[in-house]
């Protein structure tokens, strides 16, 4: 890996830094890190900032310019994400599914009418999207989904259930996979729909997590009508559309930097929190070793992200390398949360509502929320299987 920027990359990095310093709202460290919890007030304070990002095409940096994006290279996207994370600048997290999934799929497979209607509304933040993929019996094996779509004139009638549907309670539209040919092999006979979340027969039930947040939902479909014009791509070929994305940057550099910043916040607290005139680091010398371990591990996470972008910059597509990043960062997230709670002691159990909560209660939320980090987006077991078979060439187990 070459850690040096080219002259063009250095100029772009400076442009990003100056823009953030000039335009980004000044929020307290750590504000808005959580996907839903604590994001509402940041969203309100950051509307002007999001609008300015959109004007530069930086809401959707990977999208082609003709669709309102910035048409950035993978390295430019990496630099933008890295500098945003380093500055702890607010990100438009409410647009993540629309920008990162629905938009790219529409750009590749959508009709011109679909692109003209939906893409501008995604970028403006007018429409929030959710993803209707996983089901109770079709999570890691998504192609086993059972939600049915039956043709009825110019419509399809949808019946079934989706689960772990992030921000479905806020979304206006859903990208939905449903089975239209039950007799076809499981990777075939699936169609990709755009579903109006206000349609009669759609019921959203919240799934409250351990941290008290409503990020996920389960969604039920009871004879929901979806017009044929809301199909993305071809009937019975939705699996292939679902697997298609633009070549946008996926190095997870923002996550890696966020973890390092959390460790730095814990270290700062341990230095400043005193008892009888001595800091926690002096009272408990072994704590230094634990904190150093976490800091070094966070640096390793960054190096893994640099490996991903190095591959992409060479025109290669990361495969098992992306699974390594996901596995490592999510398990590190849990270790950092445990270390943080150990440093904060009993006060670490106080949530954001308490004025006595250290670090504004962020560690309490992180500790509870981190339980799910090795499950969502592909469990650690799934990631290890991918690394073993695709990365190490080991045979599949029976």
318 and 381 fall within a common domain: yes
pLDDT single digits (tens) 159-203: 999 999 999 999 999 999 999 999 999 899 999 999 999 999 999
* Confidence check: pLDDT of 44 > 50: yes
According to DSSP, residue 24 is labeled S
What residues does 131 pair with on adjacent strands?
175
319 and 214 fall within a common domain: no
* Confidence check: pLDDT of 245 > 70: no
Provide the 3-class DSSP secondary structure of residue 39. Answer: helix
Last residue of a domain, one of 180, 203, 236: 236
- Average pLDDT of the chain to the nearest whole number: 90
Distance CA 194, CA 132 (A): 10
288 and 216 fall within a common domain: no
* Confidence check: pLDDT of 384 > 90: yes
Last residue of a domain, one of 42, 73, 91: 91
Q: Is residue 110 part of a domain?
A: no
Would you please indicate which residues are annotated as catalytic (active-site) residues? 249
Helix (H) or strand (E) holding 253: helix 253-272
pLDDT single digits (tens) 340-365: 999 999 999 998 889 999 998 889 99
Q: Is residue 363 part of a domain?
A: yes
* Confidence check: pLDDT of 125 > 60: yes
Q: In sequence order, which residues have a C-beta less than 8 Å from that of residue 322 and are 6 or more positions away?
A: 250, 308
249, 74 Cβ separation under 8 angstroms: yes
Please indicate whether residue 235 or residue 34 has the higher confidence score (pLDDT).
235
300 and 346 fall within a common domain: yes
According to DSSP, residue 175 is labeled E
- The CATH number for 74's domain is 1.10.540.10
List % helix, strand, coil for the chain (3-state, nearest 5): 50, 15, 35
Q: Is residue 264 part of a domain?
A: yes
163 and 210 fall within a common domain: yes
Provide the 3-class DSSP secondary structure of residue 186. Answer: coil
Can you give the pLDDT at residue 182? 93
Crossing angle (nearest 10°) for helices 74-86 and 253-272: 20
Residue 24: name the closest of 43, 55, 50, 60 by CA. 50
What residues does 161 pair with on adjacent strands?
220
Determine the Cα angle at 269 with ends 263 and 271, to 5°.
105
Q: Which domain covers residue 136, as residue numbers?
A: 129-236
Instruction: Grade residue 95 by pLDDT with cuts at 50, 70 and 90.
Output: confident
- The CATH number for 152's domain is 2.40.110.10
155 and 278 fall within a common domain: no
358, 348 Cβ separation under 8 angstroms: yes
180 and 290 fall within a common domain: no
Provide the 3-class DSSP secondary structure of residue 247. Answer: coil
Can you give the pLDDT at residue 32? 41
Q: Is residue 339 part of a domain?
A: yes
pLDDT single digits (tens) 280-318: 888 888 999 999 999 999 999 999 999 999 999 888 888
* Confidence check: pLDDT of 23 > 90: yes
Can you give the pLDDT at residue 163? 94
Can you give the pLDDT at residue 326? 94
Instruction: Grade residue 138 by pLDDT with cuts at 50, 70 and 90.
Output: confident
- The CATH number for 345's domain is 1.20.140.10
Last residue of a domain, one of 236, 263, 285: 236
12, 78 Cβ separation under 8 angstroms: no
Can you give the pLDDT at residue 30? 46
Q: Is residue 214 part of a domain?
A: yes
* Confidence check: pLDDT of 35 > 50: no
């Amino acid at each position: 890996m070459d850690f040096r920027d080219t002259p063009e990359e250095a100029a772009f990095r400076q442009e990003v830094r100056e823009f953030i310093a000039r335009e980004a709202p000044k929020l307290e460290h750590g504000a808005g890190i959580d996907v839903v919890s604590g994001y509402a007030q940041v969203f309100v304070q950051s509307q002007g900032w999001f609008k300015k990002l959109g004007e530069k095409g930086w809401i959707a940096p990977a999208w082609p310019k003709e669709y309102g994006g910035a048409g950035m290279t993978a390295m430019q996207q990496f630099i933008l994400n890295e500098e945003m994370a380093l500055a702890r600048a607010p990100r438009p997290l409410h647009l993540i599914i629309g920008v990162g999934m629905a938009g790219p799929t529409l750009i590749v497979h959508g009709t011109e009418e679909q692109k003209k209607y939906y893409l501008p509304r995604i970028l403006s933040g007018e429409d929030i999207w959710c993803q209707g993929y996983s089901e109770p019996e079709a999570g890691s094996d998504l192609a086993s989904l059972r939600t049915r779509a039956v043709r009825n004139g110019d419509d399809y009638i949808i019946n079934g259930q989706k689960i772990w549907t992030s921000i479905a309670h806020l979304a206006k539209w859903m990208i939905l996979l449903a089975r239209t040919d039950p007799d076809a092999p499981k990777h075939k006979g699936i169609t990709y729909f755009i579903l109006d979340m206000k349609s009669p027969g759609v019921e959203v039930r919240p799934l409250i997590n351990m941290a008290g947040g409503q990020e996920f939902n389960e969604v039920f479909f009871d004879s929901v009508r979806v017009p044929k014009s809301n199909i993305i791509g071809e009937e019975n070929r939705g699996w292939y559309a679902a697997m298609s994305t633009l070549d946008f940057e996926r190095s997870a550099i923002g996550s890696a930097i966020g973890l390092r910043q959390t460790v730095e916040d814990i270290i700062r607290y341990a230095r400043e929190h005193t008892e009888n005139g001595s800091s926690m680091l002096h009272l408990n010398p072994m704590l230094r070793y634990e904190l150093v371990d976490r800091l070094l591990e966070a640096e390793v996470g960054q190096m893994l992200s640099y490996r991903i972008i190095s591959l992409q910059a060479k025109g290669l597509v990361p495969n098992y390398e992306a699974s390594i990043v996901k596995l490592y960062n999510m398990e590190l997230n849990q270790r950092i949360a445990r270390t943080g709670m150990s440093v904060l002691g009993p006060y670490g159990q106080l949530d954001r509502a308490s004025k006595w909560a250290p670090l504004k209660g962020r560690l309490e939320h992180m500790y509870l929320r981190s339980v799910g980090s090795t499950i969502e987006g592909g469990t650690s077991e799934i990631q290890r299987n991918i690394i073993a078979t695709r990365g190490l060439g080991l045979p599949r187990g029976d």
